[in-house]
Structure formats: C-alpha cells, structure tokens
Amino acid sequence: MEIALESTVFTHGFDYPHNIEIAMRLEQVARDNGCQPRTIGIINGEPKIGLSENEINDLANHENVLKAGVRELPYVIGKKLWASTTVSATMRLAALHSIKAFATGGIGGVHHGKWDVSQDIMELSRTRIIVVSAGPKSILDLAITSEMLETFGVLTVGYKTDQMPAFYSRNSGIKILPVDTVDEIENIFQSMDSLGMRSGLLVFNPIPEEYEIPDIIVKGWVDKAEQDLWKNHISGKQVTPYLLRKLAEYSDGRTIRSNKMLLENNVLLGCEILKAMSKHEE
C-alpha cells in the first residue's frame, strides 16, 4: 500500500528546519500505519516516485527549485531542472504509478478578488486518485473555491463532517457532503469507476480539535498578510509561500504547528482508506 506525498509543502510551504522535519515525520507516520510513503519530486529532470531521505534533503536545500504544477511537468523534465510538485503535479505522477491515495495539507483554489485559480482544481477533475486534504488553503476565497470545485465536477466529501473544513479551522460554514467511514469513501471511489468518471475524489478531513485556530483569528492575520503582499507586488507562484511565511510570523509559529498536525492527520486517514481498499481487493 503506497501513499503519495507532495514536495511543495517542504520546498515552498515551510522554512528550514521545519520543512525537513515535517517531510520525515510524514513518511514515518505512513510507515507506522502500514503504508509505504512515496514523496514525489523532480531531481534533475527525473520524476522520483518516492524520494530517498538524501534526495528530500537535496531538494529542500537546492538553490533553484521550481514549484511545478502539472502544466510545468514537461518543462522541468525536458530542461532537466529541479522541481517540487504541487497537488496537481503529484496527483498526475502518483496516478501514473497506480497509487490510489495522496495525503496533503491544503489544496490550491481561488484567491480573493482576482483570477488566480489553482491548477489543482483542473487536475482533480481529470485524474483518478483519492486526495486527502484539510481544506483549501486558508488564504483562499473558500466560497468561490467550493463553487469552482462544483463547476469542474470534483466530488468533494467531508470526513465525519457536513461542513467544508477551512485548513486551520474545522468549519467554514460552507455545506459539504458528509461521509462517516473509510468504507464509504472506498465505495464512493468504486462507484465513480463504474460510472466512468475519471476524476479524483477529494476528501476533506478537518484539523484535530486541539490544534484548531479559530477562523476569526486566522482572518486577521490573512488580511494583514494580504496587505503586505499587495504592498510588495508579489504575484503568481510566490503568493502562497509569501503568505504562509507571514502567517507564521504573525501567529508566532502557531500556524506551523497546526499545519504540521493536520498533515499528519491526513496521512493517517489516507492510510486507513488504503487499508479499507486492500481489504476489499483480497
């Protein structure tokens, strides 16, 4: 049972040394739960489906690492570059290798007030794999992201919740279809196959209560961070790394701790889903 993990979270999401610590910890959580971790990234133009510990270190410390979505994969492979893979690129590479589940933190979506829509949504609509996430990234427009997921036909379910989780907090107030067990998730994934749906299944798994940060507090930090963004003319792929760094700064590291715990929680659920799938395949 292989579980896919992404590399952008440690190349662009966290700074050293948290980044390496978290990457290693997630692999360990997978192993402790009976799965083989496959952290995906591109080394010198070569997609690695399961980076070694050394390669994770090299990728995290390499001075010129591109953040590659699925669109950029041919570019970084063709030009033999070093790249981390976002949710969209990780999904594609994992699915190509018949990996059935992928655990991540936040998926990309729609940013506030501008036409900045992540490739993650497009890829979820066309690549068959189960993606476990704690909600769209907190810096996004959640209502529009939820609408966009619908438009692209991305089936999105909430694990033991009927509200879309909002990354650092468990509830966004936006309705979502609930599921109660990993067996239900597996049944739904099989049904998609029998209906000829080749899209991904997005499973939103709320952050554990003890690490939750109330929405209202996060919003204050996000507003401030967005003003910094605007003042410093940051755009495109720099947006997420910049905002995450600012949130860590304003929260005195609290967002880092929460981010780490929700990632672990998602790896756990990913492994449970894989176990349910393998039980039924026997």
Q: Which amino acid is at 194?
A: S
Chosen residue from 116, 141, 184, 228 binding Mn ion by CB under 5 A: 116
Is 87 among the residues that bind ligand PSU (CB under 6 A)?
yes
Least distance to ligand PSU from the beta carbon of 194, Å? 29
Which segments within the chain are labelled E, that is strand?
2-5, 36-43, 46-49, 65-68, 82-85, 101-103, 130-133, 155-159, 177-179, 201-204
Is 94 among the residues that bind ligand PSU (CB under 6 A)?
no
Identify which range of 55-63, 111-119, 183-191, 227-235 contacts Mn ion by CB under 5 A.
111-119
Give the C-alpha separation, 273 to 268, whole Å.
Answer: 9
Is 2 among the residues that bind ligand PSU (CB under 6 A)?
no
Closer to ligand PSU by CB, 172 or 276: give it. Answer: 172
How many residues make contact with ligand PSU (CB under 6 A)? 18
CB 195 within 8 A of CB 128: no
Closer to Mn ion by CB, 116 or 184: give it. Answer: 116
The reply to whether 6 belongs to the active site is: yes
Q: Which amino acid is at 250?
A: Y
Chosen residue from 19, 33, 39, 86 binding ligand PSU by CB under 6 A: 86
Give the C-alpha separation, 92 to 72, whole Å.
Answer: 12
Spell out the residues 6+ positions from residue 180 whose beta carbon is closer than 8 angstroms to its own.
160
Nearest residue by C-beta to Mn ion? 116
What residues are labeled active site? 6, 137
Binding site for ligand PSU (CB under 6 A): 6, 8-9, 12-13, 69, 86-87, 105-106, 108, 118-120, 137, 237, 240, 244
